[in-house]
Amino acid sequence: MTAAGHRTFGILLSLAFATGGALAAGKTLSVTEKVDVAATPAKTFAAIKDFDSWQNWHPAIGGTEITKGKGNTKGTVRVLTTKDGAKITEELLSHSASSMSYKYRITDSPLPVTDYVSTLKVAKAKGGSTVTWSSTFKAKEGVSDDEAKKVISGVYRAGLDNLPAVVK
């Protein structure tokens, strides 16, 4: 991970902790980010498909520990550790090699969101493939909707912007 990528994720987590106010968690929010990759969908999906190896493509992730289940099986639980030491626990809800997508949810994290469910999907595009990372969630109490969306979008951009360099 570059120093800039590490600082970006650290800043996003700092924003998550620093936001304050009397705002209450409420409406469901969504974020969708995409990146085009100059590789076949199969090659692109091969780079991101494994629930236990995000450290291979997302520059903020230092490691993954599977605490329940196995690999890309529904119900598998992982703990992502960011390079600055934050822990994010997630559960795999579905995984489909044929549709080149998977869905997961966060069960515990320092991120400023609750009820987070996300999907990563690879599709064919002109000149290669498009990776779409989308989610629905609610802002944690005390965090504005805009701030929650900004943090999640920043996490997505850090990973997606790194993919073209990883998938060659």
Domains of the chain: 3-49+100-166 (3.30.530.20)
Q: What angle do CA 163, 12, 60 make, to 5 degrees?
A: 35
Query: Distance between CA atoms of 167 and 7, rounded to whole angstroms?
Result: 23
- Joined tokens for residue 25: 């968690």
pLDDT higher than 60, residue 21: no
Q: Given this model, what pLDDT does residue 31 score?
A: 98
pLDDT higher than 80, residue 23: no
pTM given for the model: 0.85
Q: Given this model, what pLDDT does residue 168 score?
A: 82
Beta bridge partners of 25: none
Asked if 30 and 119 count as a contact pair (C-beta separation under 8 A), the reply is: no
Tell me whether strands 77-82 and 61-68 are parallel, antiparallel or unpaired: antiparallel
* 98-118: pLDDT as tens digits: 999 999 999 999 999 999 999
Q: Given this model, what pLDDT does residue 48 score?
A: 97
